[in-house]
Amino acid sequence: MLKTRQAILLGVLLVVAALAGLVLWRMADQLPGLGRTITSGRIAIGGPYALTDQNGKLRASTDFGGKYQLIYFGYTFCPDVCPTTLAVMSAALDKMGAEQDRIVPIFITIDPARDKPEVLEKYLEAFGPRFVGLTGTDAQIAAVEKEYRVYAKKQPVSGGTYGMDHSSVIYLMGPDGSLVSFFDEVTQPEELAKALKAKL
């Protein structure tokens, strides 16, 4: 008797499920988005900042005249990935012709204790006059790192000094301050230039 009741109950549930599926199928044409994945919104990366440039001048994120900002976070004592990535950015802009004027390349330090304006000025000479270098207080840099989801952590090294472990991402921010695209440090100048042209 128990088995018979269970069989009947299972049969009723299957019929209900089938009817529900039929109703949803019939409604799919009437309800926009039903049965489809809908995505909206923007990736929450980036935000306003006010930092000091390599000339000792206060620079805000709104100071660049409606241009795109190509931003990289690193530090001047970085032995490899930072100078390599900045060189890639510089070479990519060189390949863009007049369109490069629509982009401001920006280097934001993650090591403000050592990267004072005069240090940034000397360091960025190797990558051309277009670059804007930005530094600030520990609190200011930490706030910008948080806005851009940057990972940065001090690591002691021999001799009593330290290096910085950090994420390595090139951000392309639009004139309105929103994220347009991002690139990793293995991107080559040719492909970066092509991608930038496509996004402008």
Please state, in angstroms and rounded to a whole number, the distance separating the CA atoms of residues 155 and 161.
Answer: 9
Is the pLDDT assigned to residue 7 strictly greater than 60?
A: no
Cβ(67)–Cβ(137) below 8 Å: no
Task: Tell me what pLDDT residue 42 has.
Answer: 60
Q: Could you give the percent of the chain with pLDDT greater than 90? A: 72
With bands split at pLDDT 50, 70 and 90, how would you rate the model's confidence at 185?
Answer: confident
Task: Tell me what pLDDT residue 31 has.
Answer: 39
Tell me what the pLDDT averaged over the chain comes to.
84
> What is the b/e burial string over 40-77, where b = at least 16 CB atoms within 10 angstroms of the residue's CB?
eeeeeebeebebbbbeeeebebeebeeebbbbbbbbbb
> Tens of pLDDT along 88-142?
999 999 999 999 999 999 999 999 999 999 999 999 999 999 999 999 999 999 9
Greatest C-alpha distance within the chain: 89
Provide the β-strand partners of residue 132. 106
Cβ(139)–Cβ(51) below 8 Å: no
